[in-house]
Chain A
Amino acid sequence: METAALISKLNKAVPGAVLQKARFGRGGKHAIWIEARSIAAVAEALSSDPELRLDWLENLSVAQLDEALLLTYFVRSRQTEVVAVLRATLALKSEDELVDAPSVRTVWPMAVPFEREASELFGIRFGKGKRETGILPKGWRGFPLRKSYVFPQEFFQIAHSRPSPVGTSDGGSRDA
């Protein structure tokens, strides 16, 4: 299905949700930029539409660009071979403040592990729930995948790095 047709369908189902059509990668692929608040409604519309039946959230990727988190939903259908990319941005307020985003796990149950991971590593609160844990140790502070994150020197008095016999390099690494 063409992106344009998809957008017109969405405009009908959830008015005002679609912000714009954006290019995604090379080769004429497109992403649909949607309003962050209406992600859940869009998801509902896409999965319940009889023609589309986008019932499979293949991937949820989060990336930080400057002061915004970029949520990319790779959605597809098991029945109709339709593939779509949805995109929304969340503005970051401060370094260690949680950001809110609607959860899509009621529509796409497979979103649970993706949302859990993004929630923990980027500090996003999906739905009304709290920030989930599972990857980081209990009591870990900060959101490691944000650009502003500084790796702590120690955690509960356990030093994270041993003094290297060859010293630290000043070469290729960005964090040096």
Chain B
Amino acid sequence: MLETLRTDLTSWEIGPYHGALPGPMRMKLRIDGEIIISTDLETGFLHRGLEKAFELHPWPATVAYADHLDPEAAFFGELALCLAVEEISGLDCPPRAQAIRVLLSELSRISAHLGYIVKVGRAVGAETLIHYVLRDREKILDLFELLSGARYSLNFLRFGGVAADVTEGFIERVLEVAELLRARLKEYNDLFTFNHSFLLRTAGVGVITRELALQSGLTGPNARAAGLAFDARKAHPYIGFDKLDFEVPVGRGEAGRLGDAHDRFLVRLRELSQSLEILKDVAETVPEGEFSRMRIDRDFEVPNGESYARVESSRGLLGCHVVSDGGRFPARVQFRVPTSANLTLLPEIVRGLAIEDLPVVIASLDLCLAEADR
């Protein structure tokens, strides 16, 4: 009876600016009652011409632009660019710089995942959790500030190393924060992860099936939650990830179905604890030595050539294709960002959901419009 009851479709536009959206974008919903029938996404509000900007600036200044690819985890953009440029120009990174890079990479991942918990918490209205997590993320931002002088846009990597050696006490503080976060993770779990209301909101909601993930080229924690165990750190090891021992957590569909919002949340929590392990391993064994092969030089030239570097960012596979014509300016810098795949499958997975699930699904996908629009 109820199934045959059909009401007129309603249109509802959300955006471009709204608290439930990850950034400026417009969603044009067609809803039947409160069931979403179709979704049109309009993006591009945050297009800053970043890739064009790379071509207009000398090589050393491009690192500052790579920071702005994804403001929430700025380090990964830098890392991808530096790896690609280092490959073309044949610079190798000293072991100490590599260890620092691993530390920063995992700290960025943790900070981005904590930011993700905040997003999900906000979407389901768990205020207390948000404050706890933000408090702890502050510790990591403080670490960034201690090391590089900035909290978000680090601009700390240089071609062939890092900008400076670690400051005194940094390593100890990394270990301290890792220890603290391990205790905090337990607290988050007690408070939130298996809370009945939270399970009701997320279990079985916004399911990404394996097929859909394959079709849309999904990567990162979202794909791993859907059962695809692809991690660029394992598949294409960089900055010494092949020497580290860590696991790649994959979704198990504990609460609802494989690949639902709760799985995505859990996979990120597990990644967090894996990153903490890596931090501990690396921080205890940072080798001595120099931190950079070369000093920054405005006239730095990259030889004619091209390369493609893959980095596992907090959202997924971040690729950077750099083409150089041998001059002081890049000929082309292209980024393969994980968010564009997430955006293409968003309309697929929200079809048939109630409108109240929309914020939860959007938050659980961890979209970054800055990255998608560039």
Contact = CB atoms under 8 A, between A and B. Distances in A.
| Chains A and B directly touch (beta carbon < 8 Å) | yes
B343 interface: yes
Given A25-B305, A25-B308, A134-B43, A78 B228 contact: yes
B336 interface: yes
Interface string B339-355: 01101100000000000
Interface string A103-140: 00000111011100100010000000000001111000
Nearest to A176: B56
A121 B335 CA distance: 14
B289 interface: no
Contacts, number: 98
Contacts of B57: 172-174
A55 B216 CA distance: 11
A136 B331 contact: no
Contact of B44 (A26, A70, A85, A134): A134
B14 interface: no
B56 A110 contact: no
B307 A25 contact: yes
Contacts of A3: none
A155 interface: no
B321 interface: yes
B58 interface: yes
Interface in A42-83: 55-59, 61-65, 70, 72, 74, 78, 81
Which of under 10, 10 to 19, 20 to 34, or 35 or more describes the interface residues of B? 35 or more
B169 interface: no
Contacts of B228: 78
Contact of A63 (B87, B331, B373): B331
Which residue of A113, A144, A145 has the most chain B CB atoms within 10 A of its CB atom? A113
Interface stretch (B31-39, B47-55, B97-105, B118-126): B47-55
B90 interface: yes
Given A55-B214, A81-B235, A135-B373, 19 more contacts: A25-B306, A58-B319, A59-B336, A63-B321, A63-B332, A78-B214, A78-B230, A109-B215, A109-B217, A110-B216, A121-B51, A135-B43, A136-B44, A136-B47, A145-B52, A172-B58, A172-B61, A174-B55, A174-B56
A59 B344 contact: no
Nearest to A135: B44
Contacts of B317: 58
B42 interface: yes
A72 B298 CA distance: 30
A56 B217 contact: yes
Nearest to A55: B214
B323 interface: yes
B329 interface: yes
A64 B77 CA distance: 22
A144 B53 CA distance: 10
Given A59-B321, A61-B336, A74 B217 contact: no
A175 interface: yes
Contacts of A121: 51
Contacts of B87: 25-27
B336 A113 contact: no
Interface of B: 42-44, 47, 49, 51-52, 55-58, 61, 87-88, 90, 214-217, 228, 230, 235, 298, 305-308, 317, 319, 321, 323, 325, 329, 331-332, 334, 336, 340-341, 343-344, 373
Interface string A136-157: 1100000011000100000000
Q: Which 8 A-B pairs have the closest CB atoms?
A: A110-B217, A63-B332, A59-B336, A135-B44, A113-B340, A25-B307, A61-B321, A61-B334
Given A78-B214, A173-B56, A144 B298 contact: no
10 contacts: A25-B308, A26-B307, A27-B87, A55-B214, A58-B336, A59-B321, A63-B323, A81-B235, A121-B51, A135-B44
A12 B202 CA distance: 50
A63 B334 contact: yes
A58 to B, nearest CB: 7
A95 to B, nearest CB: 16
Contact of B329 (A58, A70, A174): A174
Given A26-B88, A55-B214, A112 B344 contact: yes
B344 A113 contact: yes
Nearest to B60: A172
A84 B192 CA distance: 44
B319 A74 contact: yes
